[in-house]
Structure 1
Amino acid sequence: MSKDAQLEKNHWYRNDDIPGVAGPDREIVGYGEKPPRIRWHNDAKVAINIVINYEEGSEKTFAMGDGMNDGMYELPFEVDDQRDLAKESMYEYGSRAGIWRMFRTFDRYNVPVTIFGAAVALERNPEVARKINERGDDIVGHGYRWIDHYEYSREEERELIRMAMDSFQKTLGRQPEGWYCREMSVNTRELLVEDGRFLFDSDYYGDDLPFWTFVNDKAHLVIPYSLVVNDCRYIMGTGFAAPSDFVEVASRTLDQLLDDGDDCGRMMSIGIHPRITGNPARIHGLAEFIKYAQSKDDVVFMTRTDIAKSFIDQVPKPDRPEDRPNS
């Protein structure tokens, strides 16, 4: 094999991405040293967005014909060839008890939240859908079911997005302006832009500020999410052993964002699940952090869609990639 052929076979020598690879271009540089100076409602420096991931009843189960039991369970046990009724019942805790404890907590502290809603989960529990509308909560599409979108073809994923939006319209009487699926595919963002109904997506973890990207020459807004202040860390990998761990990570995150060494405002995402944070001790920890955050000046709780619209007011949609801040 010639030297050139060997180099072509081994990609370790590259210092850029291979042209034509499916999916969005990587955006490694971002805003750099000087992000735009953003302020949120009431001129706050930090906007906190609490996200309830409502998935219960839409996860993969033998009962729904998937031939598997989904993960994110309290214990590292797996049942491989039949229904796992213990795991199913943990999910049902979220839809039966946890979500209502969350609603009571957010009502008590007058906190607006965003629902990352799986359409089938809302179909199967219409009382939750009714309560979301009653509270006026923000809704972001979390897929038709809680399934990995990268497992499906482009056409299948397009149909899943259509089915989800039709379902939201039927269940809630409205459709989300944002999207965050479980494990996006290389086609997801293009499909959202082609669809034309979406103001933003949140399938991104690479910043503390929204930003504009371009998809096939069309400007598209990304509102980043986070897995750091996220209750999945109670049950997956290294993370929270106790609610006090969650409170400390959340509080330190907020403190840093309030004094991050510059005058730039930023957003803070908190991800929770009814079957996890809906348990008494964990929601108690979240309430402790809410009280801490509400004691601070320069902090506001906002929905994800309101964050998107506030950002657009301050950083309007660019006509060209080079018109973006710090492009």
Structure 2
Amino acid sequence: MPIERDLRGYGRARPDIIWPNGARVAVSLVVNFEEGAELAVEQGDAETERYGEVAATLAPGVRDLAQEQVFDYGLRAGLWRFLDAFTDARVRSTFMMCGRAVERVPDLARTVVEAGHEPAVHGWRWLSHALYDDRQTERRDIEKTREIIARATGVTPVGFMSRGSQSAWTRDLLTELGFGYDSNALDDDLPYWSRSPQGSMLILPYGFDTNDMKFFHPNGFVQPEDFSGYVSAALATLVEEAERGRSSMLSIGFHLRICGRPARFRAVRAILAELARLEGRVWVATRADIAAHFRAVAR
């Protein structure tokens, strides 16, 4: 059954959302906790993940220690930079956690949540959910991931976002499983409701442009100022629109192995400083808190 595309969205009739601190702009800091869940011969996969710091050159079936170590850096070193910086800035973020990564380092996942951050489901492996060819297997992996995160952190995730595209039935599965929000959406600046025969699912849109993965793109960010400047421009636009009465939400995406590196971490510090400068004009919150407020005022 084809999935219907909604090309209109809210149109001009956008909801008037005032976030809890009086601001019209909500900001969600998102950190991917996925290292150790990527494709790797070490895990019995046919090949190693090819999207990384440098282009992978080894043939399928050959273990790529270099690529593994690029990923390993995120948990070994990058994680602590993020946790310390968020503590210093007194902000809470959402960590998108892959089940396999949490299974391997449950203590690190627990440390994240004990620091005040929200855990969300990012799939069992760091793979697109469009690759699932049956509902039962996908449902099993979503449930397994949620249970492993809950067991490791003491908090049951309410949010979901997979790498890349979902399957045709992912959103229905999330509804059936009682998730509070789905973030596999790139199509708006505000949360919205997705209706289906299975029920209603709250969608919290994400963004690939205000995302540090563009440091790995040939035509993307190079200097840390490229990323922080881009994010500052997005914030400036949304704050200007807010002054004219337009409400919005902005997601800023980080990866432990990307912006966790020393040079690129300067961008994280600059973004946090800009958010502090905009205090009162933006509301920095976890996705669960954004979802809860939107649900209360825009059912």
Cα distance, 1:72 vs structure 2: 2.6
C-alpha deviation, 1:217, in angstroms = 5.4
1:108 corresponding residue in structure 2: 88
**CA apart distance, 1:237:** 4.1
Identify which range, 205-214 or 277-286, moves more after superposition: 277-286
Match of 2:201 among 208, 220, 236: 220
1:78-111 deviation per Cα after TM superposition (whole angstroms, max 9, x unaligned): 3223011100000000010001111011111111
The change in CA–CA distance for 1:177 and 1:28 in structure 2 (over 3 A counts) is: same
For residues 225 and 255 of structure 1, the distance between their equivalents in structure 2, rounded to whole angstroms, comes to 18
**In the alignment, does 2:195 pair up with 1:205?**
no
1:142 lines up with 2:125 in the alignment: no
Contact 1:179/1:201 (<8 A) preserved: yes
Counterpart of 1:120 in structure 2 is 100
Asked if the contact 1:41/1:300 (under 8 Å) is kept, the reply is yes
Amino acid in structure 2 at the alignment position of 1:46: V
Does residue 31 of the first structure (1) align with residue 40 of the second (2)?
no
Partner of 1:289: 271
Q: TM-score, normalised by structure 2?
A: 0.95
- 1:168 equivalent in alignment to 2:164: no
Q: After alignment, is 267-276 or 176-185 more displaced?
A: 176-185
Q: Does the residue aligned with 1:73 lie in a helix, a strand or coil? A: coil
Residue 50 of structure 1 aligns to a residue whose secondary structure is: strand
Q: Which residue of the other structure, out of 170, 180, 183, is the alignment partner of 1:188?
A: 170
Aligned residues, how many?
294
The CA deviation string for residues 273-319 of structure 1, in whole angstroms up to 9 with x for no partner, is: 00001011211111112111211241121100100011111102xxx
Of 258, 262, 275, 2:239 maps to 258
* 1:270 and 2:252 are equivalent in the alignment: yes
1:169 deviates by: 2.2
Please tell me the root mean square deviation across aligned C-alpha atoms, in Å: 1.4
Q: Secondary structure at the match of 1:219?
A: strand
Higher radius of gyration, 1 or 2:
1
String of CA shifts for 1:36-71, please: whole Å, max 9, x gaps: 111112111211111001100111100101111113
**Are the counterparts in 2 of residues 140 and 179 from structure 1 also a CA contact under 8 Å?**
yes
User: Can you list the C-alpha shifts for 1:175-205, whole angstroms capped at 9, x where unaligned?
Assistant: 111110123111110111122x201100000
Please say which of residues 115-124 and 213-222 is displaced more in the overlay.
213-222
- Superposition pairs for residues 75-90 of structure 1, below 5 Å? 75-81=54-60, 82-90=62-70
Q: 1:48–1:301: 8 Å Cα contact kept in structure 2?
A: yes
The alignment's TM-score, normalised by the length of structure 1, stands at 0.87
- Per the alignment, do residues 192 and 291 of structure 1 end up closer, same or farther by CA in structure 2, a change over 3 Å counting? same
Unmatched 5+ stretches in structure 1: 1-19, 317-327
| Secondary structure of residue in 1 paired with 2:43 | coil
| Match of residue 35 from structure 2 | 56
2:281 to 278, 293, 298: 298
Distance 1:145 1:173 in 2: 21
Using the alignment, how far apart are the partners of 2:50 and 2:32 within structure 1? 15
Q: Stretches of 4+ moved more than 4 A in 1?
A: none
How far is 1:210 from its partner?
0.1
Residue in 1 that maps onto 2:220: 239
CA distance in 2, matches of 1:238, 1:35: 33
The alignment status of 1:314 with 2:294, answered yes or no, reads no
**Match for residue 43 of structure 1 among 19, 22, 29:** 22
Which secondary structure state, in structure 1, belongs to the residue aligned with residue 120 of structure 2? Answer: strand
- What residue is the counterpart of 2:158 in the other structure? 177
